[in-house]
Amino acid sequence: MNAEPRLLEVRKNVLKQNDQIARVLRDRFRNDGIFVVSLVSSPGAGKTAFLEKMLTFLRCKYRVAALVGDLATENDAVRLARSLAPVRQINTGTLCHLEAAMVERALNGWEIGPLDFLFIENVGNLVCPSSYDLGENLRLVLLSVTEGEDKPLKYPTIFNSADVAIITKIDLARAVEFDEAGLRANIQAVRPGMHCYSVSAKTNFGLQEVLQFFVDRRSEFPQLDPALRSGL
């Protein structure tokens, strides 16, 4: 019996399975012409209010839908359904983030027809979602003016994994003595060149700019011949 210890060299990405599913999803979204935007934030940053407005405005001209990850309740989905866009809830149970496989499962068997935009609202958490690619084209990180200007320095990883920062509840900025320049500088420190928008879902301030950004990004998106879309 040989019990000599030895070192086996391996290179195995722990998140490889998620990354592979995310890649398949991304290809599928591109083939179907769906531009996918995911949202991450702390609980209470106003993600749902922001998304409700996005869906409401985009729905006038585009085919939109949303997937909402939540720990247990269905409150967010019910709220988003007010936008009249198709909304589906993903209950994550005890899991504090969405994974690509959960998105894939939620999409399979959801007969919503062709889409232009799909939004994926992640579970309220600034840590775990950063590791999981969901196949999205754009990842938004939202933070409200009440959360403190140093949030990007505390959670640099999520900012690094995201493409756009959305500062929410800007209507409260005065009341909480929010230092917008300070926050923007911290965002640029952890993610130089990051796009940053200040919005209020209450007053609609800044929402048009964000919508225009999505529409512009979608038009840069490599479009296939509609006849080749797998949905047809």
- Binding site residues, other proteins, CB under 8 A: 1-15, 127-131, 152-153, 156-158, 160-161, 188-193
Nearer residue to other proteins within complex by CB, 160 or 208? 160
Shortest distance, position 172 Cβ to other proteins, whole Å: 26
Nearer residue to other proteins within complex by CB, 7 or 232? 7
Q: Say how far apart CA 99 and CA 130 lie, in whole Å.
A: 10
Token reading at 97: 């983030």
Nearer residue to other proteins within complex by CB, 189 or 224? 189
The CA angle 197-201-205, to the nearest 5 degrees, is 55
Shortest distance, position 54 Cβ to other proteins, whole Å: 25
Nearer residue to other proteins within complex by CB, 38 or 200? 38
Shortest distance, position 4 Cβ to other proteins, whole Å: 7
Residue 195 phi/psi, 5-degree rounding, is -70, 140
HEC letters along 63-129: CEEEEEEECCCCHHHHHHHCCCCCEEEEECCCCCCCCHHHHHHHHCCCCCCCCCEEEEECCCCCCHH
Number of other residues whose CB lies within 10 A of the CB of residue 27: 11
Shortest distance, position 139 Cβ to other proteins, whole Å: 13
